[in-house]
A and B are shown apart, each in its own frame.
Chain A
């Protein structure tokens, strides 16, 4: 079947099957043991087989599901942007410190994505990052990451 005619259940079923195969492959490093004494690899293999069978079932039944090309993904681009921004922030968290990271992230969301006025953006970004740091970091004494300058 060519890609445009792929149905979404067929795709997701096949992806689950692929996941099951991947797990089964990774699992080869762990000893299986026996039914009386299951080893480290026993249960994952069982589950992977189960998942693979179900995935196949879904894919086969999927001939009657919605065609892939008709799936609605209007928000996917923005969703990806949000996710990537969070990922960058997570990476920066322990390199730039909590306050700077959160401030930048909020500036990105409010300023770049939501196009709010600079004053609103600045006050929310600065206020949120400092207040949350104070409550969680100082009052509750959770060691939030600090940047290279200790800030």
Chain B
């Protein structure tokens, strides 16, 4: 006859047996990550910089991970929709995201306007940095300035008269410009456009004097002599514009990068994160990846998870200061 004690011991043995069986199984299931397709969410419409970085990456990652890696575009609100979507997704490693520098700026701007932030940066685990391109200062062919020095002198003489355009408030062409203007101590008027194309059109048509342009977009117009590039926002001179000094060289302590990076939602298990980091590291080394990126004129700059995290934090601090300094546009009246 079984006593309670016996039953208990039997149950304990059963439990132990189950655990023993399951543990290797669970380790197995983690080691077998990935065992189904991974989706890479790009929070922008097809054809943009994030998209053009994510697609070659997913092709190469597919070869590393031996599972389909599919790019899913979930555009909206300058990226906020897609990013929020990934923040709330299941942290099992099957949903990752390629995002741009706006990742760090959107929550700040939300806060400044008193809106509930769409997401917060700590809802994400940084996996890797893919590319970091500094923008260049593109001035229209009809403008008289041949160097940043001339520009700054002119701006000092007529504050608030020169007009610059950008692709969106607090975006990757507005912030670098404002940072430069603050460092140079001059004031200019801004005309917002919606997107890079329209911003460039404003400068090409003489409706705005200059803007902070992605190098790829500027290159073709420099070749057709419709714009001139006076400087770049990087730490080193841009390979495509060797004659353009960096703003740092000119004495302004300003650096800005339009970067793209890979993120996973927070809560993904450590081993999975490691697998993802490894996969990205290997993918980035593939020659096909490098060629694809070169074709769209985006130089690869790879940083692994922990270094990327540091880069992110430093970058975010700088962006936050700039955003707060710009403040809300109508508050300046």
Contacts and interface: CB of A to CB of B under 8 A. Distances in A.
A and B touch in the complex (CB under 8 A): yes
Size class of the contact patch on chain B:
under 10
Nearest to B39: A143
Interface string A26-37: 000001010001
A150 B94 CA distance: 13
Contacts of B39: 143
A25 B72 CA distance: 39
A interface, over-half SS: loop
Nearest to B74: A143
Contacts of A31: 330
A39 interface: yes
Interface string B31-42: 000001001000
Size class of the contact patch on chain A:
under 10
Interface string B53-81: 00000000000000000101000000000
Nearest to A34: B333
A39 B70 contact: no
B15 to A, nearest CB: 29
Interface string A121-142: 0000000000000000000010
Contacts of A37: 330, 333
Nearest to B114: A29
A75 to B, nearest CB: 36
B72 A39 contact: no
B330 A33 contact: yes
B330 A143 contact: no
The 10 tightest CB contacts between A and B, nearest first, are A31-B330, A143-B72, A39-B330, A33-B330, A143-B39, A143-B70, A141-B70, A40-B330, A37-B333, A37-B330
